[in-house]
Amino acid sequence: MALTTYVEAIRQGIWEEMESDERVFILGEDVGIYGGAFKVTKGMLEHFGRERVIDTPISESAIVGAAIGASYVGMRPIVEMQFIDFISCAFDQLTNFAAKSRYRWGAGVPIVVRGPCGGGVHGGPFHSQNVESFFMNTPGLKIVAPSTAYDAKGLIKAAIRDEDPVLYFEHKYLYRRIKEELPEENYIVPIGKAVIRREGRDLSIITYSAVTHTALEASEALAKENIEIEVLDLRTILPLDEEAILQTARKTNKVIILHEATLTGGSGGEIAARIAEKAFEYLDGPIVRIAPPDTPVPYSPPLEEFFLPQVEDVIEAARKLAAY
C-alpha cells in the first residue's frame, strides 16, 4: 500500500466529504484555479466546479462571514486561510458570530476554518504562528491540530460533519514530511479524544501538532537512559480531553507540557491548571512547560531554530524532572 502524506490526507478527506455531501463546498484565496497555496485543493475546481470551489477576494472577514451565512441556509462551508496567521482578520466573525450563534438563538454554524500553521520553514513572523490560544477562551468553538496523516484525514472529515464551527490547524512543516499507510475504508477521528503515542512510566509529555514528533524523538533517546516517557497527543485542543490528561498525570506522577505557541497565555497554562486542581496529590514534581519565548517567530533560520522547542530541550527538561 502506498504511503500518504499529511497534506494529501487532508485533501483526500475534503474530497471524500465533498463527494458524499453536496452541501459541502470550499472557499478561500486561490483555492480554485491555483489549487491552494499548498495544493490542498488541487484538482477540486475541475472535478466539483465553480459553484463548489470558490476563489474569493483577499478579505478573511468577508470569507468567514459568507461561510457563516451559507451555513445558515443549510450549506457546510470549508474556509481555507492561505496562512493561519491571517485568521486574525476574521476574529470578530468567528468569536462574536459563529461561536455564539447556537447560544444566542439555537442555530449551529457547521463551518470549518482550516489553514497552515507553525514554524520550521522560515516563514517569518507573519506566516509561522500557532494561534490556538487566541481562541481557547471562546466558548462555542472547537479546535483540532493533527500530528499524523491518519489523524489529519480523520479529523478533517469529523470537522466537516460537525454541527458547530471547527478551527482546523494543519502544521505546514508536516505537510510532506509525515507519511503513512491509510485505511481504504471510510473513517473519522472523533473530536475531543486524545491518544497515547507512546506508553511510559517515569513521566508524561502532553503535546499536540508538530512537536508531538519532537516529544517522540526525545523519548526514544531517553529510553536508552532507562527513562521511559509517556507521550499523550491531544489532537483536540478545545474541548480538551481532560480525562486523558488527568489519567496520564496520575499514572506517571510527573508532567511536561510541550507546545509550539509562545509560552505566556499558551494552552500549557490551562492544562497545567487542570492537573494542579484535579491531580495535585499524584504529582511528584513541578509541572514543566516547554514552549518558545514570548517573541514573534524569527525569520532567520538560526534564530528560528533557537526559538522553536528542539529535541535537546525536551531531553534536558525530562532528565531534570525525572531526577527531581
Confirm if 232 and 268 have CB atoms less than 8 A apart.
no
- The 8-class DSSP code of residue 81 comes to P
List the one residue out of 75, 24, 22, 29 whose CA is nearest residue 56.
Answer: 29
- Distance set, CA 89 to CA 44, 59, 63, 84, 86 (Å): 26, 8, 10, 10, 6
Residue of 127, 171, 213, 259 with catalytic role:
127
List the one residue out of 233, 117, 111 whose CA is nearest residue 169.
Answer: 117
Distance CA 290, CA 268 (A): 8
The burial of 243, by beta-carbon neighbours within 10 Å (0-12 exposed, 13-18 middle, 19 or more buried), is given as exposed
List the one residue out of 168, 156, 318 whose CA is nearest residue 230.
Answer: 318
Sign of the C-alpha dihedral, residues 90, 95, 98, 104? negative
Task: Determine whether 47 is an active site residue.
Answer: no
Q: Name the grid cell of 200.
A: 511510559
DSSP H helices in the chain: 6-20, 44-48, 60-72, 91-92, 101-105, 132-135, 149-161, 211-223, 242-252, 267-278, 301-307, 311-322
Distance CA 208, CA 254 (A): 18
Active site residues: 127
